[in-house]
Amino acid sequence: MKGLILSGGKGTRMRPITHTAAKQLLPVANKPILFYGIEALISAGINDIGIIISPETGNDIKECVGDGSRWKIKITYILQDEPLGLAHAVKTARPFLGDDTFVMYLGDNLIKDGVGPLVKRFQEGGADAFLLLKEVPNPSSFGVALLDAEGRILKLEEKPKQPKSNLALVGVYLFHNKIHAAIDAIKPSARGELEITDAIQKMIEMGNRVDSHILQSWWLDTGKKDDMLEANRVVLDEMSDASIEGDVDNSSKISGRVSIGKGSELKNCTIRGPVVIGQDCKLEGTYIGPFTSIGDGAKVSFAEIEYCILRENCQILDFHGRIEDSLIGLNVELTRSHNKPIAYRLMLGDDSKVEVV
């Protein structure tokens, strides 16, 4: 079995951050989202993975992920020239997939339980496709499945105005090679894309068996800023280890689960976990509250920060204020010229320079 991770798209819902970065490389608990998907497939026993990339961000993903040697697996990059739908991505990857069964995983998703149990059920059962579903309060925003009493899928609809169920497609699909014939038999939707829901529906019409599993644990789609912050919170909340490898002076106070990377220095700081601070960071006179991750090389002085993601090499200097519910990009410089007690909620793209006045 092979793995196919979709890591293309333009990330329009995450701009300005994604003007300069692939959304799948944004960090959750200081690890790129894409790495969680790769590791989920590896844990399921899959060591031959194709990654769909786009012209805009493909080189960044290649540089970050590499050839797979860090995980001792093989990674193949597959260029999708335009974002013409999930089924189009599968069609583009056909030379890589061949006749093998495969798992398709959306690269901006996080799933608590991984995909190992699903792969096992698919390999042991007789289904031609197997989909992961989740009950959601807003099914009209997703692909929606209608099931029979045995959990087999009868019908799929893409973002229906009047959904017939609340079971959304999570973004993990397991396919027999019969999916290719189904994709060849469909036409682009009204939005000009080859929809994977249409292809799976075609499989059903062709007499193929499509089974499902309803996810009971959490699933997070990291397509927006608030989704990213919530994913960061959930992953940090489940962090079991705390390690302090940096230098923390005697006037600093640390409580809860806190990880501090090598080369980092904290002076007169208060840190309340769960918190992850990367390597070579410099923090002084600062409060870092729960559910915050700070990337390598960041510098923060005289600030209060909580429920935030700070990316690598950002600088928040002499701020004398509070920042919460914020996503701060690479190399951002943020300063403040007044001391009014205001809390800020920000999303700043890479290389921004902002002075709050």
How does DSSP assign 276-295, residue by residue? EE-TT-EEES-EE-SSEEE-
Domain residue extents for the chain: 2-235, 239-356
* pLDDT band at residue 14 under the 50/70/90 scheme: very low
The residues that bridge with 315 in the sheet, in sequence order, are 299, 333
**Ranges 40-49, 92-101, 317-326: which has the least confidence:** 317-326
In the chain, % of residues over pLDDT 70: 90
- pLDDT digits over 146-203, tens only? 888 887 888 888 888 888 888 988 889 999 999 999 999 999 988 889 999 899 999 9
Strands 167-175 and 129-135: antiparallel
- Sort 207 into a burial class: Cβ within 10 Å, 0-12 / 13-18 / 19+: exposed
Rounded to whole angstroms, the Cα distance separating 41 from 2 reads 9
The residues that bridge with 210 in the sheet, in sequence order, are 129
pLDDT of residue 94: 97
CB 25 within 8 A of CB 54: no
Rounded to whole angstroms, the Cα distance separating 36 from 53 reads 17
Residue 38 CA: distances (Å) to CA of 32, 61, 73, 128? 10, 13, 10, 23
- pLDDT digits over 63-86, tens only? 999 999 999 999 999 999 988 999
CATH of domain 2-235: 3.90.550.10
Looking at domain 239-356, does it have CATH number 2.30.30.40? Answer: no
Residue 37 CA: distances (Å) to CA of 105, 110, 172? 7, 7, 10
For the chain, how many residues are written? Answer: 357
In 19-152, beta strands by DSSP E: 27-28, 31-32, 48-53, 74-79, 102-106, 109-111, 129-135, 143-147
* pLDDT band at residue 118 under the 50/70/90 scheme: confident
First CA to last CA distance, the chain: 56
Q: How many CB atoms lie within 10 A of CB 240?
A: 6
- pLDDT digits over 312-342, tens only? 999 999 988 899 999 988 888 888 766 665 6
- Of 159, 146, 120, give the one whose Cα is nearest residue 214: 146
pLDDT of residue 56: 85
Rounded to whole angstroms, the Cα distance separating 182 from 269 reads 59
